[in-house]
Every structure is written in structure tokens, then in C-alpha cells.
Amino acid sequence: MMPARQPWGARLGVRILLAAVLVLGVGALTAWVVALATGPAIFHEHMLMVETPNPGPEVVRHAEEAFDASWQLSLLLALIAACLASVLVGAFLARRIAGILNKVRSAAIRVAHGDYGARVPEGAMGAEFTEMISAFNRMASELDETEHTRKRLLSDLAHEMRTPVATVDGYLEAMLDGVAGADPETLTMLREQTDRLKRLAEDVSLVSFAEEHRLSMETHVISVAELIGVAQGQAHSSYAAKEVTLQIAEDSGGAVLLGDRDRLSQVLTNLLDNALRHTGPGDQVTLRAGSDSATVFLSVEDTGHGVAPEHLPHLFERFYRVDTARDRAHGGSGIGLTIVRSIVEAHDGDVRAESRGPGHGTLFTVELPRHG
Ligand SMILES: Nc1ncnc2c1ncn2[C@@H]1O[C@H](COP(=O)(O)OP(=O)(O)O)[C@@H](O)[C@H]1O
Ligand SMILES: [Mg+2]
């Protein structure tokens, strides 16, 4: 798209040109006036200083005329050369600046129309332009990333919802057709699917809140020992039912944290849930707490399935599951660890996963700033 025609005098190039011509005009005029006022007098004086034979008025007049003609000619030529130079320089500058501005302008229009891949090539036109262009490009790539995440979230979400909705639909149809009855088994199955949808909705809203840094948090001073106690209490029965041993190694030395009790409990609950899901009877899970002067360490280590190295960097991504079919069958939506990371980061902490590979167990470590 071509830029709308600007009034002639409003164009940046014309303004720069006019400014240059104005400066030049003032300079030339000053030189002219000064030369006119002082030149002839000085020259005349010098002519009279000549001692041997008196030159006479005719000679003096010609000499004066010669002087006048020469300074006027040289000034005129200088002025013409300067004018030409200023026009050339002005036009060159105007073209360069207008070229850059047009590139930024058309990239901005593309971004406004949703094409976030638009970038402005960096040119050598001074620091201000380079800064403006790199700020623009940064903005475009941020938008690009947000858009990418948004699209993926939507398609992942649709994908996650499809299975439970299809299952519910199938059962309802069978019941309507009289193939299946409203027996407890069918109702339980239906309930499981709606529970899954409910959990999905809650998880997704929690994650989007967290990622927009709008997670509501009630900040309290929390004792690490208490946090561990609560998590153990919650996990105890499901661990016992699956015959997985839950070991507690609370060695925080009375450390306290500043944060939201429920959210931090949720971190441990999610990690303990995952550990239970990826272990079998006879396996062992250890919930540890430790501290140094500045940091509290919380970890959950299991002797279960483990994670292959290529999957480790992705575990905290939304909807990421190592074994899609098996993990989904276990009821996981793949957002648990995303929530863990969001909550930990909202507390200025860090979380990481380690594993020596499939069959060798997994270790999740959370580090949080110690409050006392
Ligand atoms: N303790 C663990 N052992 C092995 N794999 C794990 C463990 N915890 C998480 N994972 C892997 O990381 C994936 C993401 O975990 P999470 O975000 O909690 O999703 P999910 O809803 O599947 O539990 C899981 O699907 C699983 O493949
Ligand atoms: Mg999970």
C-alpha cells in the first residue's frame, strides 16, 4: 500500500532540506554583507599605502572594481556549490529516512492485520532508527509467540475435550436406543467423564490465570514441616491402596516460606499424584524437605517408570504427556506440571525434573526462597 500523499511542506525530507537551505542562506548573506561593508574600505586603505609613484585615481578605481568582481564571483560560485550540495544531501537523507519509515509502516500494517511474522530489516541510519526498528521487531515476535501459544492451547483443549465428550455421547446414545441401561456401572462411567471435563476446565483456567500473572494468592508465613505434613496426610490413603511406600524425610530445620498455603500444597499434591501414577506396588516415593540459609528445597523422588532424556525438557509444557495413550488413560490431562511450575514461579521459585531414564525413577525438585 502506498503512503497517503502528505502536503509538500509536511514531509520530513522537505523540512530537512528547507532547514539546510535556511542555514546556508543566513551564512551566505552574512558573508556578503560583511564583505561589502569592510572589503572596499580595507582595500582602498592599502592602495593608498603604496609608496612609489602615486597610482592615480584611474588605477585605484580599476583595482577596486577588480576586487569587487572577484569577491562577488567567488561568493556566488561558493553559494551555488553549497546549494547544490545541500539539495543533494537533503534528497539523499529524505529518501533514506522515508524508505525506513515506509518499511516500518508496512510491517505495522501487516501486524495489525494479524501477520505477526512481519519484521523490519535493520539498516544503518543512526541509533534512533536502529532502536525503533529493534523495538518494533521485539513487539512483533512477542505477539507472534502469544498467538502461537493461543492457537496451540485452543487446539489442545479441543483435542482434550473430544474424548470424554464422545464417550458421554456414546453412552447416552446407547441408553436412548435401549442398548444400555442406567445401571450403576454406566452412570459411574458417565460420572468419570464429566469429572474429567470438570478437572480440565479448572486446570485450564488456573493455568491461564497463572500465565497472565493473575493468580490470586493469599500470602502467609508457612512452616515447611506443616506443608509436608498436609501433603502426606492427603496422599496417605491412595498410596496405601496402591501399596506404594511413601517415605518422608523432613529436614528443613524449622524453615518457613512466604506464600499461599493452598497453592503450595497443590504443588506437592500434584507431584505426589504423578509419582503414584508412575509407580507400581512395591515401589517407593520419598518426599523430602531441606534448606540452606536462602533456599528451601522440596523434592519428590520415585522408583517408578522414569522419563527418557528427550522428554525431560518438555514435561512442564501444557498438555505434554510422555506416553499419550497410557497417560491419558490414567486420567491425566498433562497440565499438572504446568500448574506446578506456574505456582512455583509465582513464588519466585524454580522447579526441575531429573531421571536416569526409563525404569530408573524420577526426581522433581522445587526450590523456593526461604523466609526465615
Ligand atoms: N513421576 C513421574 N514419573 C514418570 N513420568 C512422569 C512423572 N511425573 C510426570 N511424568 C510425565 O510427565 C507428563 C506430564 O505430567 P503432568 O503435567 O502432571 O500431566 P498428567 O496429567 O499426565 O499427570 C506425564 O504425562 C508423564 O508422562
Ligand atoms: Mg499430573
d(CA 223, ligand 2 centre) in Å? 25
Identity (one letter) of the amino acid at 162? R
pLDDT at 1 > cutoff 70: no
> What number is the average pLDDT over the span 103-125?
91
d(CA 50, ligand 2 centre) in Å? 108
d(CA 55, CA 106): 74
Q: Across all residues in the chain, what is the average pLDDT? A: 87
**CA atoms 27, 33, 36, 37: torsion sign:** negative
CB 355 within 8 A of CB 300: no
**Is the C-beta atom of 274 inside 6 A of ligand 1?**
yes
For residue 32, the model assigns a pLDDT of 81
Check residues 9 and 342 and name the one with the higher pLDDT: 342
Quick: pLDDT tens for 47-97: 777 766 667 788 778 887 888 887 888 788 878 888 888 888 888 888 888
| Protein residue closest via CA to atom 8 of ligand 1 | 274
| Protein residue closest via CA to atom 9 of ligand 1 | 274
Check residues 129 and 242 and name the one with the higher pLDDT: 242
**Is the C-beta atom of 322 inside 6 A of ligand 1?**
yes
SS3 at position 258: strand
Closest to 196 in 3D by CA, of 97, 350, 327, 100 = 327
Report the nearest atom of ligand 1 relative to the CA of 278: 3
Quick: pLDDT tens for 149-194: 788 778 888 888 888 899 999 999 999 998 888 889 889 989 989 9
Judging by beta carbons within 10 Å of its beta carbon (0-12, 13-18, 19+), is residue 160 exposed, middle or buried? buried
- Residue 271 grid cell: 507431584
Closest to 211 in 3D by CA, of 343, 106, 79 = 343
| Protein residue closest via CA to atom 27 of ligand 1 | 322
How does DSSP classify residue 331?
T
d(CA 306, ligand 1 centre) in Å? 10
- Residue 82 grid cell: 553549497
Identity (one letter) of the amino acid at 127? A
For residue 52, the model assigns a pLDDT of 62
**Is the C-beta atom of 285 inside 6 A of ligand 1?**
no
Closest to 171 in 3D by CA, of 154, 187, 157 = 187
For residue 134, the model assigns a pLDDT of 93
For residue 73, the model assigns a pLDDT of 81
**Is the C-beta atom of 315 inside 6 A of ligand 1?**
yes
For residue 88, the model assigns a pLDDT of 86
**Is the C-beta atom of 334 inside 6 A of ligand 1?**
yes
- Strands of 295-302's sheet in order across: 245-251, 284-291, 295-302, 362-369, 350-355
Task: Convert 170-207 to b/e letters by CB count within 10 Å (16 or more is b).
Answer: ebeeebeeeebeeeeeeeeebeebeebbebbeebbebb
From 32-41, 179-188, 302-311, the region with the lowest mean pLDDT: 32-41
CB 235 within 8 A of CB 366: no
| Protein residue closest via CA to atom 2 of ligand 1 | 275
**Is the C-beta atom of 361 inside 6 A of ligand 1?**
no
**Is the C-beta atom of 327 inside 6 A of ligand 1?**
yes
DSSP letters of 157-202? Answer: HHHHHHHHHHHHHHHHHHHHTTSS---HHHHHHHHHHHHHHHHHHH
pLDDT-based confidence at residue 23 (cuts at 50, 70, 90):
confident
Residues whose CB is under 5 A from ligand 2 (ion)? Answer: 274, 332, 336
pLDDT at 326 > cutoff 80: no
pLDDT at 215 > cutoff 60: yes
CB 227 within 8 A of CB 265: yes
**CA atoms 225, 230, 233, 239: torsion sign:** negative
d(CA 371, ligand 1 centre) in Å? 30
d(CA 280, CA 287): 17
Judging by beta carbons within 10 Å of its beta carbon (0-12, 13-18, 19+), is residue 244 exposed, middle or buried? buried
**Is the C-beta atom of 336 inside 6 A of ligand 1?**
yes
pLDDT at 2 > cutoff 70: no
For residue 328, the model assigns a pLDDT of 62
Distances (CA, A) of 94 to 100, 102, 107, 120: 10, 12, 20, 19
Nearest ligand (C-alpha, residue 339): 1
SS3 at position 329: helix
Would strands 245-251 and 220-223 be described as parallel, antiparallel, or unpaired? unpaired
**Is the C-beta atom of 362 inside 6 A of ligand 1?**
yes
> What number is the average pLDDT over the span 226-255?
95
Mutate to test the pocket of ligand 1, among 207, 321, 339 (most ligand atoms within 8 A of CB): 321
**Is the C-beta atom of 271 inside 6 A of ligand 1?**
no
For residue 350, the model assigns a pLDDT of 97
Distances (CA, A) of 157 to 109, 154, 261, 335, 336: 31, 5, 29, 11, 14
Q: Which residues pair with 5 in a beta bridge?
A: none
- Residue 65 grid cell: 572594481
pLDDT-based confidence at residue 340 (cuts at 50, 70, 90):
very high
d(CA 274, ligand 2 centre) in Å? 5
pLDDT at 120 > cutoff 60: yes
For residue 3, the model assigns a pLDDT of 47
Check residues 230 and 208 and name the one with the higher pLDDT: 230
For residue 11, the model assigns a pLDDT of 67
